[in-house]
């Protein structure tokens, strides 16, 4: 019997809540809607276990190509068993004709949402996420699968029941099995994927392999560390042209503070090379380079799976040397060990072991004493892994490393070291004390990252975005002197920007007073008026010479400023303003007369206000005091 045709009317995901697909999955809530369908929270009616169920839009089920793409996503994703790839457990078509995909239910947010909220991530927060992406990709690439549509929306930062965050790659919907027989990973001339993160070879519709995913990770890293995408175009076609032809600019052009992380800048730049042969030749090598950029503070995220080591068969001496040049970090230890076995113990063991801590070197020396084990490699790998593990979990080393990192203002890295140590010694008072210090340092570092992004926007002339970024930073903590100076300078800009800056400064309160008073006393025109008005709102106007500040506006070319100054001086009632007010009250404006009449002089704009202020001050002086 054929399946009933699905309803091709407008897809309304909310209407499916409460439905049961294939008699097994009850849709209990709507989570999200995308271009191909919607994702629901669901419960298996027999197992009573919760899942996420992706339902294809009914109108798309009439397209054989899209149905095949959906089926391929299920096939590929279910075959990829890795901690950093979302698990797919089922696929089917309901009796109503809905195609659906069943996945593990994740709690958390996408990288896109994180970046939209935070703007930019500091290196110590970005690298562990990127390393997990690389680990997942290497697992996929090892099975001949290229994702081809990596972007922040397809990277999910899942929160486990224990509170640990794990990065997951989603949506293998346009992934492709590399076909060795054809020598091409995709059909030539066909462009697939999201333009913002397409590799040049994808943009040009030429052959694609795993290095296209490396390029996408490079651009994602660029976006995470800088705060925006490196390219901006009017439309998708323009963006594709940039991807195909324009070099990715250095990150330090936008974030000069990243110059303190040259290895990280170099790793991202290499991943973003236009020529596939100039990039890291595998996701594992990119992951190793990113991890190495953080130095000894980098540790494999708890529960994460290191990338599998690629086969070294057939690698050229140049490629083997690239493996050996990569500092030993996390998942790279296994790859490097295999490289040692491939090129010979005597030639490279000294260079390699010099980079390991003493415990690891001793382990390698012990392994070296057993030629059979060395030749096979298994015991060597086990011995090295144990030694590195013992080193990483050493309490004394953790304390020393954390203190060193805290002393150099690398609190996020210190916290990662302490998190790992506390898993083994959760009640250790010294570790707990250091962890508290690290948490406080992380808060400061995150605030500095927000402020750095806002400063960058302000320096580049994007003042509206900068003010919003400063407002977001102020919601998380106090602003620094540079931020306050930037916002006070914005008081002199167009009214909409000045009003927004005023709100942020008013929220900052007493800390904003010194910067506001400087503008009130030394600026001119509207800038001074807004500074004076804000100083008054903050209760700080009496901390400057108010008469001098306001009388300075009586001669301004703007009539409204003269009137505002006169009115305020009248309110202040200070006799020291009388001389300037009388002069302003006597100011005349000459108007041309007619053919037979003389020019006329009339009171200048603001003169009546100045005269009223004079009378008000004099009346106050003559009034008997009570």
550-555: which pairs have CB atoms within 8 A and are 24 or more residues apart?
Answer: 550/577, 551/577, 551/580, 551/581, 552/524, 552/528, 553/525, 553/528, 553/529, 554/580, 554/581, 554/583, 554/584, 554/606, 554/610, 555/584
pLDDT at 490: 94
d(CA 356, CA 343): 19
CA distances from 17 to 29, 36, 42, 43 (A): 6, 18, 9, 11
Q: Of 207, 204, 231, which is closest to residue 218 (Cα–Cα)?
A: 231
pLDDT at 383: 44
Question: Chain-wide mean pLDDT for the chain?
Answer: 78
Which tokens sit at 119?
């703007």
Low pLDDT (below 50) residues in the chain: 1-9, 177-192, 307-393, 626
**Would you tell me how many other CB atoms lie within 10 Å of the CB of residue 260?**
10
pLDDT at 353: 38
d(CA 548, CA 541): 12
pTM (two decimals): 0.52
* 90, β-bridge pairs: 102
**What are 339-352's pLDDT values in tens digits?**
444 433 333 333 33
DSSP assignment of 358-390: HHHHHHHHHHHT-HHHHHH-HHHHHHHHHHHHH
Q: Of 184, 204, 210, which is closest to residue 277 (Cα–Cα)?
A: 210
Cα 464 to chain center, whole Å?
A: 19
Burial 567-579 (b: 16+ CB within 10 A, else e): bbbbebeeeebbe
Residues with a catalytic annotation lie at 149
**What are 395-413's pLDDT values in tens digits?**
788 888 889 888 887 777 7
Q: Of 523, 544, 547, which is closest to residue 535 (Cα–Cα)?
A: 544
pLDDT at 392: 43
**What are 256-295's pLDDT values in tens digits?**
889 888 999 999 999 999 998 899 999 999 998 898 887 7
Which tokens sit at 221?
């890293």
Which tokens sit at 446?
């995150």
First to last CA, the chain: 102
d(CA 476, CA 444): 10
Longest dimension (CA), the chain: 120
pLDDT at 476: 86
């Amino acid at each position: 019997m054929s399946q009933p045709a699905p309803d091709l009317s407008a897809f309304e995901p909310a209407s499916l809540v409460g439905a049961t697909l294939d008699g097994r999955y009850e849709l209990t809530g709507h989570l999200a809607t995308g271009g191909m369908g919607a994702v629901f929270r669901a419960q298996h009616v027999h197992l009573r276990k919760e899942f996420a169920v992706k339902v294809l839009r009914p109108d798309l089920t009439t397209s054989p190509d899209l149905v095949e793409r959906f089926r391929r996503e299920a096939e590929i994703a279910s075959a990829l068993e890795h901690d950093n790839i979302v698990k797919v457990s089922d696929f089917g078509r309901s009796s109503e004709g809905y195609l659906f995909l069943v996945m593990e239910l994740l709690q958390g947010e996408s990288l896109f949402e994180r970046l939209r909220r935070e703007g930019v991530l500091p290196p110590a927060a970005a690298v562990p996420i990127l390393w997990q992406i690389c680990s997942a990709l290497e697992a996929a690439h090892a099975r001949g699968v290229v994702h081809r549509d990596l972007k922040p929306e397809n990277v999910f930062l899942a929160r486990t029941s224990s509170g640990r965050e794990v990065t997951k790659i989603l949506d293998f919907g346009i992934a492709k099995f590399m076909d060795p027989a054809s020598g091409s990973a995709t059909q030539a001339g066909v462009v697939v994927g999201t333009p913002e993160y397409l590799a040049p070879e994808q943009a040009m519709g030429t052959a694609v392999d795993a290095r296209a995913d490396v390029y996408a990770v490079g651009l994602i890293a660029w976006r995470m560390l800088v705060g925006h995408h490196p390219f901006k175009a009017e439309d998708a076609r323009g963006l594709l042209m940039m991807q195909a032809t324009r070099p990715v600019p250095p990150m330090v052009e936008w974030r000069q503070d990243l110059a303190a992380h040259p290895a990280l800048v170099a790793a991202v730049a290499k991943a973003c090379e236009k020529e596939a042969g100039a990039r890291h030749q595998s996701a594992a090598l990119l992951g190793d380079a990113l991890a190495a950029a953080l130095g000894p503070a980098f540790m494999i995220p708890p529960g994460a799976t290191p990338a599998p080591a690629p086969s070294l068969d057939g690698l050229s001496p140049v490629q083997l040397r690239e493996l050996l040049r990569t500092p030993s970090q996390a998942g790279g230890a296994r790859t490097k060990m295999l490289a040692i076995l491939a090129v010979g113990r005597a030639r490279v063991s000294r260079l390699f072991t010099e980079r390991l801590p003493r415990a690891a070197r001793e382990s390698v020396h012990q392994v070296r004493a057993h030629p059979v084990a060395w030749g096979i490699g298994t015991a060597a790998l086990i011995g090295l892994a144990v030694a590195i593990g013992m080193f990483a979990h050493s309490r004394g080393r953790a304390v020393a490393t954390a203190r060193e990192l805290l002393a150099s203002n690398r609190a996020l890295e210190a916290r990662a070291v302490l998190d790992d140590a506390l898993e083994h010694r959760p009640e250790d008072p010294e570790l707990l004390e250091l962890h508290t210090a690290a948490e406080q340092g992380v808060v400061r570092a995150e605030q500095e990252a927000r402020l750095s992004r806002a400063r960058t926007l302000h320096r580049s002339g994007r003042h509206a975005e900068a003010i919003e970024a400063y407002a977001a930073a102020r919601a998380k903590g106090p602003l620094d002197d540079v931020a306050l100076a930037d916002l006070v300078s914005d008081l002199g800009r167009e009214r909409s920007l000045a009003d927004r800056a005023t709100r942020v400064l008013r929220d900052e309160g007493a800390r904003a007073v010194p910067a506001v008073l400087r503008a009130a006393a030394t600026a001119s025109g509207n800038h001074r008026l807004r500074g004076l008005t804000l100083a008054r709102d903050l209760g700080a106007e009496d901390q400057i010479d108010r008469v001098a500040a306001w009388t300075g506006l009586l001669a301004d070319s703007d009539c409204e400023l003269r009137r505002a100054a006169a009115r305020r001086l009248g309110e202040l009632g200070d006799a020291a303003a009388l001389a300037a007010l009388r002069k302003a009250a006597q100011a005349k404006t000459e108007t041309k007369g007619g053919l037979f009449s003389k020019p006329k002089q009339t009171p200048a704009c603001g003169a009546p206000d100045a005269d009223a202020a004079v009378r008000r001050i004099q009346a106050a002086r003559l009034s008997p005091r009570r």
